[in-house]
Structure 1
């Protein structure tokens, strides 16, 4: 029976002196043997707090060894970790803590004020009985660990038992808790390890927050494969390249926006990082120009498509196809079936429709939401809600979210396609395309932009789009705004924009 915590213990047996976790900004540097002992001490702390199998343990913490150790400690004793997005407001955290039924909350000291606001909240029943700061005070995690037992706890769970609940961003309402098991996490990490080029003793840079599934799966993947995790809790484009060189980083996690920042700093021009092989990115397609910039530095880029519900598994576009298949999310990774579903419910391996996945890395359920769980699956296939196209070679191209699609005069318009054109116009900072009601066409595309209006106008934006897109796809309206609303994960809140501009139309 697979247990993620027991897997870490086995890595400590196989590779005790291999560096496990390195955090240059705080001076933390521990090997697998030392980290496993700390995990066991955290497990003992959990036991003294009366945490039992099935109990939920919430983590409101920045990337840190404490976060990782608490996560593995909970896994060892059968508790369920609930990683919390540190960017959320107190009211949002209050909902998640209540919905998950978390009994213990560990929090970073910088979030003490937020925690006090959560405690004072009255919108949702509070289930938390222990509030434990990371380092401040006599009852902090650090203080408790000093007297904790480092002996291995008895592992009595694994397999299909729940290991963590991660809440989705909630662009259409309250977030849903995505439940993953020891088995689904193991499959997701294995899918990565067997699809991309990873090697024993690689060193992986992680500047992405561990409360996101791709970063958390990276943490697990590193222990599984015998890799050193180089943690960067606060991303800094001015120092990241020296860190990559000094720590002999071989693989870097990123998103396209981070890579765009990194290539603009002065150190990039003279960079010599002989140990580095590639970045693995997701969240958005990599622009062709950016791929070429990194290729010129002999740095590969692996792109992927995944969801919280897939534990970071899904598709991967390997570097050798990055330019030939620009805009693609790649092909199905190991242990993954990929297809599209048409409006009649027919599943096909090629063509256009809703992207569907089938794999053992998929979520077990949505926490306390049997209705949502039932709606998400159809004959074993998980319905992603994304519209995509699979070409003749099996490469996936994500078009947009189903709910964001615009139907104008009977033609489908994918906002993401229009947005990708507009964002390439000099002077444009941000863009969101939504559908507005129209008597003639049913709906029209409306571009909402943050821009330097000394460089662009509504007319110039529409003209530029006319050179790149079919006429029916062109925005019929352009609105200039100071800012575009986003949720704490950075996703654009199109629901808010639609409510605002449809009512004002």
Structure 2
């Protein structure tokens, strides 16, 4: 049964998969490519806008079917892996859906990768073909087989593009391979099944009352995408938009607040998915008061803590925006999202990651030498494993060991208190940087903060804070305000205060690893 015709229910039951009990929707779609059938519901409505380019839902379906046939003609068969290497564009979207329609597995390569990293990814995944845009094609090794990036909309379309696939199509088959960020060590290829992707989609549609039978077809959202589609969050946004009929507006190239402001005004953007740093830099831009941003009603912020001052700035500088900004917690290995906080929860429990999604189970693994337990997750959204690796953070009972530390409050909200590998050990005391960062961000005048350990001759490590402030603050003032909020031994003893924004990585998040490495190198040269 197709995804468009399948009942999307709310009832949940426990199902055993590979000997592991999972909470699952009784009525659910089974194949990701089936979502494309919803394009017929939206017809000539714009789906992708980038600059002056517009791709309608009708053209999305037509182009994806045409490209799927082209891939079949080039010898692509069910289960073949296809590297997609490119920046956000209508062609990227079309190629993604075409791979699925052809029965292939899209492998979402990171467009920021160097030539060496691209080569490593190809060597480990051994794809049947690589589809690369003009900017990325030069980084593909000469020996790798490249297919056409563009789409010929006149390609023959008779019949079902995936008609060559034989046998029953299982929801447990691999739908997508996507890479972890690789901030510590080499990126790993996360294998996600059709079940994993669709379970997360159904949960988010359920809690937002956007299941297919609940949608008002006369309404549509225009959503701005400033993050890369090749990350798991971008993927879910893409899938959701096809089901609910949203228009997605893509920016071009590296994040530029001036371009974002102009794009919101020109396209009457209603929603924006961003990380806190992006929002802060938009609010800092001199054009923010000169642009008509009244269409913007919602900002969905994730990837880093949201501090109180940022919330207040949004209320003041973007008065049309609902300040009830949803936040959540998840990781690629879990399909991207495990919890969500929205509505009044996002205000009342500022700093929490919200409550578990309907099919998600959470428990904590105690560590004798750590203040809080490690967060374990179990849900149908989790990965099948890392491609080509036997190692897995998922145990035999189906629990994903996240490496993050946390706790639940009495209302069932999850609080992230640190990362086991990021712990600072000062004189035998374990200190969670996340708790200090959260306390710093609640101090007026502090707009960004990162905390990490630096070597100390007697204590082993001491606490270092790099803080961005827009006020006249001194380390002593910050220390005074932190005392009573956090343990005395956790108050930073080394400080760096600055006005310049912190550097970010390719996802737009503050690059804590780079900041820590630079500071450590400077301290070592001074000693």
TM-score by length of 1: 0.83
**Structure 1 position 427, deviation (Å):** 9.6
Match of 1:473 in 2: 490
Match of 2:308 in 1: 288
Match of 2:355 in 1: 331
Distance, in Å, in 1 between the alignment partners of 2:443 and 2:122 is 42
Over 3 Å counting, the alpha-carbon distance change for 1:13 and 1:424 in structure 2 is: closer
Distance, in Å, in 2 between the alignment partners of 1:487 and 1:32 is 32
Instruction: Give 3-state SS (helix, strand or coil) of 1:328's partner.
Output: coil
Match of 1:190 in 2: 202
- 1:379 maps to which of 361, 379, 397: 397
Match of 2:177 in 1: 165
**Structure 1 position 325, deviation (Å):** 0.8
* 1:55-134 paired onto structure 2 within 5 Å: 55-113=80-138, 115=139, 118-119=140-141, 129-132=144-147
* 1:270-289 paired onto structure 2 within 5 Å: 275-289=295-309
Over 3 Å counting, the alpha-carbon distance change for 1:175 and 1:237 in structure 2 is: same
Instruction: Give 3-state SS (helix, strand or coil) of 2:171's partner.
Output: coil
- Post-superposition Cα deviations, 1:259-295, rounded to whole Å, max 9, x if no partner, equal 1122234554466656543111210121112223333
- 1:299 maps to which of 321, 324, 330: 321
**Structure 1 position 32, deviation (Å):** 1.7
Match of 2:156 in 1: 149
**Structure 1 position 194, deviation (Å):** 1.8
Which segments of 5 or more consecutive residues in structure 2 lack a partner in the other structure?
A: 2-29
Point out the more displaced range, 427-436 or 261-270. 427-436
In angstroms, what is the RMSD of aligned CA positions? 3.5
Match of 1:446 in 2: 464
Instruction: Give 3-state SS (helix, strand or coil) of 1:194's partner.
Output: helix
Over 3 Å counting, the alpha-carbon distance change for 1:279 and 1:429 in structure 2 is: closer
- 2:43 maps to which of 11, 16, 19: 16
Matched-pair contact (CA < 8 Å) for 1:306–1:314: yes
Distance, in Å, in 2 between the alignment partners of 1:167 and 1:390 is 29
Match of 1:211 in 2: 230
Point out the more displaced range, 259-268 or 301-310. 259-268
Distance, in Å, in 2 between the alignment partners of 1:67 and 1:243 is 20
Over 3 Å counting, the alpha-carbon distance change for 1:21 and 1:339 in structure 2 is: same
**Structure 1 position 43, deviation (Å):** 0.8
Match of 1:54 in 2: 79
Instruction: Give 3-state SS (helix, strand or coil) of 2:349's partner.
Output: coil
Distance, in Å, in 2 between the alignment partners of 1:314 and 1:260 is 26
Distance, in Å, in 1 between the alignment partners of 2:285 and 2:520 is 39
Distance, in Å, in 1 between the alignment partners of 2:467 and 2:309 is 22
Residue 41, structure 1, aligned to residue 84, structure 2: no
Distance, in Å, in 2 between the alignment partners of 1:426 and 1:394 is 28
Matched-pair contact (CA < 8 Å) for 2:328–2:340: yes
Over 3 Å counting, the alpha-carbon distance change for 1:99 and 1:340 in structure 2 is: same
Residue 178, structure 1, aligned to residue 190, structure 2: yes
* 1:411-450 paired onto structure 2 within 5 Å: 411-421=429-439, 432-436=450-454, 438=456, 440-447=458-465, 449=466
Instruction: Give 3-state SS (helix, strand or coil) of 1:105's partner.
Output: strand
Matched-pair contact (CA < 8 Å) for 1:85–1:488: no
**Structure 1 position 408, deviation (Å):** 2.6
Matched-pair contact (CA < 8 Å) for 1:100–1:367: yes
Distance, in Å, in 2 between the alignment partners of 1:104 and 1:428 is 48
**Structure 1 position 307, deviation (Å):** 1.0
Counting matched residue pairs gives 476
**Structure 1 position 186, deviation (Å):** 0.9
**Structure 1 position 12, deviation (Å):** 2.5
Matched-pair contact (CA < 8 Å) for 2:307–2:351: yes
Match of 2:18 in 1: none
Which segments of 5 or more consecutive residues in structure 1 lack a partner in the other structure?
A: 121-127, 133-139, 346-350
Distance, in Å, in 2 between the alignment partners of 1:500 and 1:39 is 50
- Post-superposition Cα deviations, 1:109-132, rounded to whole Å, max 9, x if no partner, equal 12244x1xx527xxxxxxx63224
Over 3 Å counting, the alpha-carbon distance change for 1:327 and 1:396 in structure 2 is: same
Distance, in Å, in 2 between the alignment partners of 1:426 and 1:392 is 28
**Structure 1 position 183, deviation (Å):** 1.4
Match of 2:346 in 1: 322
Instruction: Give 3-state SS (helix, strand or coil) of 1:109's partner.
Output: coil
Distance, in Å, in 1 between the alignment partners of 2:475 and 2:306 is 26
Distance, in Å, in 1 between the alignment partners of 2:311 and 2:479 is 27
**Structure 1 position 437, deviation (Å):** 5.1
Distance, in Å, in 2 between the alignment partners of 1:338 and 1:262 is 35
